[in-house]
Each structure stands twice: as C-alpha cells, then as structure tokens.
C-alpha cells in the first residue's frame, strides 16, 4: 500500500470562527444596520424640527393673545382719551359736564360765554391741541364754589381754570364766582 495521504481537514479553530463572525457582523452592520440607524436619526431630527415649529407657533399664538388683550385695553382707553382731549371744542358736552358738577356741589351755573382764543401763535406740526376759552359764572356759598372749582379741575376733560373772581352778593352769604376756563381739543 502506497502511502498516500489524504488531506486532513482540520476543524475550524475558534479564533478563525470568531474572526469570521465579526467580519460578517461588521458587513451586516455597514449594509443593513447603518442605513436603518441613519433613517432613525433622520426621523428624530425631523421630529425635533417639527417640535420646534410647533413651539414657535404656540409662542406666536401666546403673543397674539397678549396683543389682542393689549388692543382691547387700548381700544377702551381711546374713548377716555377722546373724552379728555376731544377732536373738536365740544362746548355742549363740556357745559353738560359743568352743569352736572355744579348741581352736585350746590352751585347754580348762571352765565356762560364761549370764545375762541384769538392769540395767533406759530403753529408747529408737533402741536396736537388747540385752545379755546369759556367764561362762566356760578352762584353759591363759598364752600360750594370751592368744591365746584376742585371738582372742575378733576374733570376728565382737560381744562385749566386760568382766572377766578368772586363777588359778594348783597343780602347774605351768597357769592358769584366768575371763572375763565381754557379748554383743549385735538388739532
């Protein structure tokens, strides 16, 4: 018998098997897992972007609510502003207010005279108001006239009492007060 040797197959060593397994896992990771991982990362980024957009829109909604509230407050204040500084002289409205103040303070509105200010001053474009004046006479006792003057100065309508003269009426403690009042209105 001839001595012929058949090649013997050695069993795969555990190191070679481990190396082969790691190589297969690496290849699978590169071609299978990496694209999946990138897809998940991309979706997470998209989710973050959408969340940021939602937060921005929610912030805009909150800002809009604040603006709406501010607008309502300003709108309510505008009527107060127009009462304090109307767009025209509005003598009739002022006289109603003065008559109400007079009756609340126990004086009688006796005489009313209105006149536009005749002073011609150079108009500036920054002037937002014009002035006219009224002269009124009220009749009452000293305390009532004093209270009338105080309440007139507190009136919402912007005005200035620029002169006061008080005369004693014959036969008692009834006085007549003459007031010159500057009133202001929008230019």
125: pLDDT strictly greater than 70: no
25: pLDDT strictly greater than 60: yes
- Greater confidence (114 vs 97) lies with 97
**Is residue 55 very low, low, confident or very high in pLDDT (cuts 50, 70, 90)?**
very high
9: pLDDT strictly greater than 80: no
**Is residue 121 very low, low, confident or very high in pLDDT (cuts 50, 70, 90)?**
very low
Distance CA 103, CA 143 (A): 14
β-pairing, 175-186 vs 108-116, is unpaired
- Residue tagged 């897809």 (tokens): 39
Q: What percent of the chain has pLDDT over 90?
A: 44
The confidence score (pLDDT) of residue 137 equals 95
Q: Which of 131, 117, 133, 130 is nearest to 187 (CA)?
A: 130
Residue 8 phi, psi (nearest 5) = -95, 140
143: pLDDT strictly greater than 80: yes
Q: Which CATH number is 91-119+128-186's, of 3.40.50.720, 3.30.70.60, 3.40.50.620, 3.40.50.12780?
A: 3.30.70.60
Distance CA 187, CA 185 (A): 7
The confidence score (pLDDT) of residue 124 equals 59
The confidence score (pLDDT) of residue 100 equals 94
Residue ranges of domains in the chain: 17-84, 91-119+128-186
């Amino acid at each position: 018998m001839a001595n012929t040797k058949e090649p013997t197959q050695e069993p795969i060593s555990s190191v070679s098997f481990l190396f082969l397994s790691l190589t297969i896992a690496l290849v699978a990771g590169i071609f299978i897992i990496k694209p999946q991982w990138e897809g998940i990362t991309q979706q997470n980024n998209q989710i973050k972007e959408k969340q940021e957009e939602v937060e921005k829109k929610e912030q805009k909604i909150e800002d809009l609510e604040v603006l709406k509230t501010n607008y309502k407050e300003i709108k309510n204040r505008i009527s107060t502003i127009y009462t304090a500084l109307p767009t025209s002289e509005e003598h009739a409205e002022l006289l109603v207010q003065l008559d109400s103040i007079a009756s609340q303070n126990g004086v009688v509105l006796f005489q009313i005279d209105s006149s536009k200010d005749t002073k011609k001053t150079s108009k500036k474009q920054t002037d937002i108001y014009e002035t006219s004046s009224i002269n009124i006479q009220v009749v009452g006792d000293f305390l009532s006239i004093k209270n009338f003057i105080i309440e007139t100065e507190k009136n919402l309508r912007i005005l200035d009492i620029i002169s006061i003269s008080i005369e004693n009426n014959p036969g008692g403690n009834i006085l007549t007060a003459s007031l010159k009042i500057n009133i202001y209105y929008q230019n």
